[in-house]
Structure 1
């Protein structure tokens, strides 16, 4: 009986951890992104990206794109930071005259839950993602 109670208490304590305290489940799949701009200041209603995750590394490729980062191009890559519980990103940026021309812009990606992601991107507003159904 003591063993049962101890196991019950332990499982309850584990299940009470905040989502941000746990390593996220796979974020591989298609996502709808809102908050992209191209050029800066011109909002794009939404774009579809395909995220592939492998051993803590992610690559997001645009399925629908814009003049700054067209469809088929990588929009960001990242690695999971276990200590901070976020992905550190390198964004691909460009302009209509020079699309997908730079990968030096840093940012972060936070897993809100299994169906929602939020990113930061230098001085631009965040891009949020909802898992495509």
Structure 2
């Protein structure tokens, strides 16, 4: 028996595995493989655990990396925008930083934690 056979009726290749021919499948390659940041990695983990069908669809279509890079970029921009808006609304300025650095750090960390929760709820786990 041949190791590989080609079925002209459906245009697919099959490989001999033991006594059976198994369909040879390959995933499409993505055009660019850009690195995925923290937000994209979190969203990927969420999709793998809670939305397996969507994750598998993206993976098998070769669009997973592109999608995750886009999610990462949008999330980072949204996070930075939220932090800046919250700083302005709470009056956290460079003057406060020079006058009372400890308070500035505490309030900035609090704002970042709040913004992180918002972004996680709205984009990453939403």
User: Which TM-score bucket, shorter chain as reference?
Assistant: under 0.3
* Structure with the higher helix share, 1 or 2: 2
Superposition TM-score, scaled by structure 2 size: 0.25
Larger-Rg structure: 2
Superposition TM-score, scaled by structure 1 size: 0.24
* Structure with the higher strand share, 1 or 2: 1
